[in-house]
Amino acid sequence: MPTDNLGQGINLPALTDPPDISVVAVAMQAILDRTVPRFASAAARAATVPAPVEGMMSWLQDANRLDVYNGTSWSPVLTGGAWQAYTPAWTASTSNPSLGNGVIAGEYSRVGDQVTFSAKLTTGSSTTYGSGPWSISLPVQAAVTVDMIGSVMVGDASGTSMYSMGAAYIPAGGQTASLYAGGVHDGALISATFPQTWAPGDRLWVSGTYRAL
C-alpha cells in the first residue's frame, strides 16, 4: 500500500487493494489529524482531544486564535497584527460616569497572545463624572498569569493646558485597567476629583501592552 509523498506515513489505499472500508477510515483519520480542526473554546478542545500530539494545530472560535501543540502545551501561532477599533467602557467604582456629548474611542492590535491598545476620552458639556476611581475596559481580557502596567496621561483644557502623567494597572485576568496619576508617594487613582476638577474638553489617554487570554 503506498504512503503519502510528504513523509507523514499515511497509508493511501490503491485501486489494486482489496476493498476494506476500515483502511479508508484509518487513512481519513490520519489526514484529519494533520488538518486544523475548529473548536468552540479551549475547554471544548480539551474534551475532544485529551491527548494531543506535537505539531497538531487548532482554531479556537471564541478567541479567534490559531494554536499549535508544542509537545507540552497549546501555544498561539503569531498571526494577526492589524489594528482594529473598539469602544472602551468608562466606569467608576461607586457610580458610573456618563459620556454625554463627549467622545471615547480606542484601537488595538493582537499578535498571538500579545495585545497593544490605546484609548482616548474627551469630555463634553453634558458629560458627568460619576464617583469613585475610574477604569477603562480592555479590548481583550488579560491572561491570568501576571499583572502588567501601561501608561496614562491626563490633559486639563482649562486656561493654560496642564498635564498629569501616570500608570494603567492591568491585573492578571482583568478586563479593565485601573488608572493612577501622581508622583512618588503621592500617586492616587484617577476619579472625578483627581488629579483635577474635570470640565468640558479635558482629555484622558490610556495605552499599554499586555498578555491576553
Mean pLDDT of 141-152: 96
Cell, residue 87: 469602544
Please write the tens of the pLDDT for every residue from 16-68: 778 888 877 777 777 766 788 899 999 999 999 999 989 989 999 988 888 99
Q: What is the pLDDT of residue 200?
A: 96
Query: What's the alpha-carbon Rg for the chain, to the nearest Å?
Result: 25
d(CA 157, CA 160): 7
Question: For residues 26 and 129, what is the distance between their CA atoms, to the nearest angstrom?
Answer: 64
The 10s digit of each residue's pLDDT in 121-137 is: 999 999 999 999 999 99
**Spacing of C-alpha 150 from chain mean position:** 14
> In whole angstroms, what is the distance from residue 150 CA to residue 117 CA?
9
Task: Reply yes or no on whether the pLDDT at 201 is more than 90.
Answer: yes
Mean pLDDT of 76-101: 92
The rounded percent of the chain whose pLDDT value lies above 90 is: 68
36-76 CATH fold: YefM-like fold (3.40.1620)
* Whether residue 6 has pLDDT greater than 60: no
pTM of the model: 0.69
pLDDT at res. 100: 98
Task: Output 12 or 204, whichever has higher pLDDT.
Answer: 204
In the chain, which residue ranges form alpha helices assigned H by DSSP? 21-32, 42-48
The structural domains of the chain, with segments of one domain joined by +, span: 36-76, 84-211
